[in-house]
Amino acid sequence: MFNNLDRRNFIKSSALFAGASFGNASTFHPLNSQETIGVELAIATICLDGFGDEYFDSAFKIIPQTPIRNVEFNVWYPRSLSPAGIDSIRERCYQNGLKPISLQGSSFGGNAAKDTAHKLWLMEKTKALGCRRVKFTGAKRGTQGGLDTVIEVLKELAPAAEEMDVLIAVENHANNNIETIEDYKKIFAAVDSSHVGMCLDMGHFDGAGISNFEVIDRFHDKINHIDLKDVVAFGTYNSVPYGEGVTRGEEIIQALINKNYTGYVVIEQAPPQEGMELVSEMTRIYNQFAKFVKKA
């Protein structure tokens, strides 16, 4: 545990870092010098904890043994969403020298009022952690109200996101209500906000048979988050360890940097494979992409 002064200083320093990196009102900023070119690498807790309710025990054990310090927390379970759960994330990050950069909650869909309340809560909690991103995908395609419910909820969230200065990253998944270029065209036509954008999950676009490069050409000014993932074949979603599939991650990241993207690239290789030595595996992926990290 740490005292209240240390906690306040930790939150303050995290918030200042977030503001310095990403500004106060927009996803991108101009590339004025060589120092601003590049991205920040991060890791999602799903890489270490899988889909179970592990309370991030594996994540906090393994991540400090890697070069990675930026962490996205997958807060899908009640105890992780509670005030005590958020306090635990903050305190354990402080103890382990890690920086929370975003929260991913459960998907859009179902009752719009409950969905809006859930996502507003996570927007408040991400601010409490000193970061400014929340990430959500959709439900299985054609269920939970479809894309219409996603848009209905985003319309309610957008003004709050702008007021709170929280970026909402709407993530694509294969076979999902949020999957195709047409889906995103409808979302952004209905919700025109500097604080509502796309989380480009490169593995899921490949798995859905959609070109990441076409997505970048059409929506580069709306992409505010990136998930790094590899899949076995174009048009088939089956996640594999990075480098064993067809996803052209280095080319995708470079294409985004060429379009002035300077945000996070989140390692999201999941779930962990049985017998995999996770410290060395996550370090391997980090080292492969470290050349894209912007200079201090």
* 267 contacts 68 by C-beta, under 8 angstroms: yes
Tally of CB atoms within 10 A around 84: 9
pLDDT confidence of residue 35: 52
DSSP single-letter state for residue 40: E
- Determine which helix (DSSP H) or strand (DSSP E) holds 15, and give its type and residue range: helix 4-22
33 — phi, psi (to 5°)? Answer: -155, 170
**Per-residue pLDDT at 216:** 98
Domain annotation for the chain: domains and CATH numbers: 4-15+35-292 (3.20.20.150)
Query: What confidence score (pLDDT) does residue 27 get?
Result: 37
Write down the pLDDT at residue 36. 75
Contact residues for 154 (Cβ-Cβ < 8 A; gap 6+): 108, 168, 170, 187, 190, 191, 196
- pLDDT of the residue at 274: 84
AA identity, residue 2: F
| pLDDT reported for residue 4 | 45
Dump the DSSP string for 178-243.
S-SHHHHHHHHHH---TTEEEEEEHHHHHHTT--HHHHHHHHTTTEEEEEE-EEEETTEEEEESTT
Q: Degrees (nearest 5) of the Cα angle 170, 158, 128?
A: 80
The model carries a pTM of 0.89
Report mean pLDDT in 10-residue bins for the chain, 296 residues: 46 43 35 67 96 95 98 97 97 98 97 98 97 97 98 98 98 98 98 98 98 98 98 96 96 98 95 89 97 90
Strand partners, 40: 264
Q: Which residue has the tokens 């676009």?
A: 205
Model pLDDT, residue 231: 97
**CA-to-CA separations, 213 to 51, 139, 216, 220, in angstroms, rounded:** 29, 25, 5, 10
